[in-house]
Amino acid sequence: MSKNLFITACILGAMTVILGAFGAHLLKEKLTAAQLVSYNTGISYQFYHIGAALLCCLFAAQFKIKQFNIAGWLFIVGIICFSGSIYLLNIRDLIGLTNYKWLGPITPIGGVFFIVGWVMMIVGGFKTDLN
């Protein structure tokens, strides 16, 4: 399970760099300043939670505690929902998704996945033998 999580996190890590460059170079001229700030928030949260997911891989492998693996997958789903919806909300006019109002509520759902992922990390931490 940790191998799949690791590979998925690495793929999303590469995508973070690509999407960041896309925003910095191609979207700079097409989005408002507020949209760029929002888009970059998606990039930041994606990057932070890629690191957290990779940390979960290490902890899951080291301690054999399932909560770390669960946390990592929660972070991945959070990235898809939170950051993914932010990207789409900010470029929807460019790609013709103007009628998709349901994208907005997806962002806080992603945030909930992030929070639950961190809670799982806490639970896993209590189960380790670290002193």
Helix (H, G, I), strand (E, B) or coil at 102: coil
Sign of CA dihedral 68, 116, 108, 43: negative
Q: How far apart are CA 131 and CA 112, in angstroms?
A: 30
Domain contains 98: yes
Q: Could you give the number of structural domains in the chain?
A: 1
Domain contains 131: no
Domain contains 28: yes
22-60, pLDDT tens digit by residue? 999 999 999 999 999 999 999 999 999 999 999 999 999
pLDDT higher than threshold 80 for residue 1 = no
Measured in residues, the chain has a length of 131
Domain that holds residue 87: 2-126
Domain contains 110: yes
Domain contains 95: yes
